[in-house]
Amino acid sequence: MTTPRIISDPKILFGKPVLAGTRISVELILEELGAGTSVDDLLREYPHLNREQILEAVRYAAQVIRTDVIYPLAPVLA
């Protein structure tokens, strides 16, 4: 059995998915990467993290989006 790398606990950041053993949310990792922060910059900013944890956050987000279902409420105008 493997230890989960992403956890969601109501006592930590209101249940947002975080990197296990930290209070660093998947959301924060994605926001930083989206803003242009490199993985190496994140590792310098958060020295207790490793590259695999950051990549796991990205994989987790991709999985969540993959399984998300969107029901449009109104026609999309082109």
User: Could you tell me the residue range of the domain that residue 14 belongs to?
Assistant: 6-61
Is the residue at 72 inside a domain?
Answer: no
In this predicted model, which residue has the larger pLDDT, 40 or 68?
A: 40
- Burial of 57 (C-beta count, 10 Å sphere; 0-12/13-18/19+): buried
Q: Give the CA-trace dihedral at 36, 40, 43, 45, to 10 degrees.
A: -50
Mean pLDDT of all residues in 52-57: 96
Instruction: Evaluate if residue 78 carries a pLDDT over 60.
Output: yes
| Domain of residue 25, CATH code | 1.10.10.10
pLDDT at residue number 76: 66
Q: What is the DSSP letter of 73?
A: S
Instruction: Evaluate if residue 17 carries a pLDDT over 80.
Output: yes
Is the residue at 74 inside a domain?
Answer: no
3-state SS record for 1-51 = CCCCCEECCCCCHHHCCEECCCCCEHHHHHHHHHCCCCHHHHHHHCCCCCH
Is the residue at 68 inside a domain?
Answer: no
Domain count, the chain: 1
Q: To the nearest whole number, what is the mean pLDDT of the chain? A: 90
Is the residue at 70 inside a domain?
Answer: no
